[in-house]
Amino acid sequence: MSYPLTTLSHDASVLDAIKLMHESKIRRVIILDGITLAGIVTELDMFKLLVNNKELITTIISGDFLIPHKDLYQDFSRFWFSNSFYK
């Protein structure tokens, strides 16, 4: 786990989580509902969501998203390589 812990509110968007993870160069985000732990979102969760959600991919690729495509590609290439040996 990264220190200090990085958190998001339970009502934050998926794009907020992806952007935070990219900018902070972290693999996990703690989701809070007030001060109560609501869950943990990981790179794997984000990757699965992107693979299964064409609308989200379209939003990211359309240019409305502030992460440069090259950086996003590198993030997912690194993720894919580091997790490709696990099924």
What pLDDT score was predicted for residue 11? 92
68 upstream amide cis, omega within 30 of 0 = no
Q: pTM for the complete prediction?
A: 0.67
pLDDT for residue 7 is more than 90: yes
pLDDT of residue 71 exceeding 90, the answer is no
Write the pLDDT tens digit of every residue in 43-70. 888 888 877 777 777 777 676 665 655 6
What percent of the chain is modeled with pLDDT above 70? 66
Q: Where are the domains of the chain?
A: 7-83
Residue 63's region, left for phi above 0, alpha for psi from -120 to 50, else beta, is left
- 34 close to 24: Cβ distance less than 8 angstroms: no
Count of beta carbons in the 10 Å neighbourhood of residue 66: 10
Classify domain 7-83 by CATH number: 3.10.580.10
pLDDT confidence of residue 40: 92
